Amino acid sequence: MKWLLVILLIGCQEPEPPPSSTGYAYFQQGLEHAQGGRFHAAIAAYKQAAAQMPDAPQVHYNLANAYFLTDALDQAEGAYQKAIALKPDYADAYYQLGAVYIRQKKYEAAYAPLHKALESDPGHISAYNALGLLHIRQGAYQEAADLYERALQVDSTHYELWYHLGQVEVKRGEREAAKTAFAEAIGTDTTQAGAYAGLGALYVEERRYEEAENLLLRAVALRPFWARPHYDLGQVYMRLGEREKGREVLERFARLEEKEKMIKSLEFTLLSEAEDARRHYDLGVLYGQRRQFAKAAARYRRAIELDSTFAAAYVNLGNIYLREEQFAVAQQLFAQALAADTTHANAYNSLGNLHLMRRDFAAAAAAFASAVRLAPDDQGFRENLEVARGLELGKKKK
């Protein structure tokens, strides 16, 4: 279970001064930088805004968010506390302060600001969720169940609340209540894998293997790189006598579990090595392998912020934009990679792929030729060059 998944609430809450003020202009710059993933630039702009508008709580809150996203947790804590001092009912700031303590593994310290978030805003669902997860971590399952029930009275359409209530009920041994909660979670959002996996696991324990299979297949389809439902699905196949299929799924489970361990290890390492660009890049690669492209992109951006000459990070980030057919952004990133390292064959190969997608076959062939020149033994580069030249020739004949 992912016990402490705290969602950052990056608000675009604007301070009171009129748009003509210098401080407001810096604040707007900070928002633009943050929305573009340029968090160090955002920090610089927000600090300028704070110097001009020291009494604007939203400025300190957004500064804290940028610190949080660059893993500068001590600075984030101070900025959230400043926002709270200026606005004592600032629910989002209390919530995010709790998130800082959770990231720092100061779990006991997280309770107070999360409770204050709920005092300030009784409908703050994320605060309910985080508090419930803290109770679960402490083994206080009854308290967690009570909290989720209370939260569901506020919003009964919230998937995470039903899902985590189901997990709590499993821990309490309340199987029927757990099944009900997981079913409600599925009813609120059919695109989330967790509740399918939770309900499927309960059916496995009850030997309802055919029903479990359908649920677990759905979970795996929705989250193909999540290890746990693969394990349960493998067990289902073994018990249904489909041993070869079961072994295949269990082998995949073992590979996925190893990747999950690597990700957790890197995430933990980054708490103490937050300025290590290579660590962020490596984590981005692992996220990318799991098709978690938003998370991968965030790590590549962070690597680039820490090391502006990190060519591989530019290339991988560019490839994410290329997948989304954001050609201009991708091309700029590939150009930045080549500016950092003119011998980076993968950058030329990615640039060739971009030109292919744009049907500029001559430019694609030129880029692939550069990749082959730099890495003559790479068969993939050679095949790409042949394809591009063939398409270029075919276009000329028309």
| Candidates 3.40.50.620, 2.60.120.620, 1.10.10.10, 1.25.40.10; CATH matching 22-221 | 1.25.40.10
8 or 19: which leads in pLDDT: 19
* Whole-number pLDDT of residue 393: 83
* Per-residue pLDDT at 281: 97
Q: Which helix (H) or strand (E) holds 209?
A: helix 209-222
pLDDT tens, position by position, 371-394 = 999 999 999 999 999 999 999 887
pLDDT at 266: 92
CB 31 within 8 A of CB 57: no
Report pLDDT digits (tens) over 241-289.
999 999 999 999 999 999 999 999 998 888 788 889 999 999 999 999 9
Answer whether residue 4 shows pLDDT above 50.
no
Q: How far apart are CA 23 and CA 18, in angstroms?
A: 9
Once rounded to an integer, what is the mean pLDDT over residues 342-356?
97
Tell me how far CA of residue 101 lies from CA of 222, 247, 282, 390, in angstroms. Answer: 31, 42, 25, 58
pLDDT at 365: 96
H helices of 89-192, in order, are: 91-103, 107-120, 125-137, 141-154, 159-172, 175-188
> Using one digit for the tens of pLDDT, what is the confidence trace for 134-153?
999 999 999 999 999 999 99
In percent, how much of the chain has pLDDT > 90?
85
Confidence of residue 37 (pLDDT cuts 50, 70, 90): confident
In this model, does residue 21 exceed pLDDT 90? no
> What would the mean pLDDT of 336-351 be, rounded to a whole number?
97
The model's pTM:
0.77
For residue 167 the two structure tokens come to 């997990």
pLDDT at residue 1 in the model: 40
Mean pLDDT in residue range 42-55: 95
Q: Could you give the C-alpha distances from 357 to 128, 217, 321, 323, 363, in angstroms and in order?
A: 46, 34, 13, 10, 11
Q: Which residue type is seen at 112?
A: A
Instruction: Give the helix, strand, coil percentages of the chain, each rounded to 5.
Output: 75, 0, 25
Dihedral pair phi/psi, residue 158, rounded to 5°: -95, 115
pLDDT reading at 80 higher than 90? yes
Q: What is the mean pLDDT of residues 205-216?
A: 97
Which pLDDT band holds residue 12 (cuts at 50, 70, 90)? low
Per-residue model confidence (pLDDT) at position 394? 75
Average pLDDT of the chain to the nearest whole number: 92
Sequence ranges of the chain with CATH classification 1.25.40.10: 22-221, 265-397
Query: What gap in Å lies between CA 71 and CA 272, rounded to an integer?
Result: 9
Fold adopted by 265-397:
1.25.40
pLDDT score for 397? 66
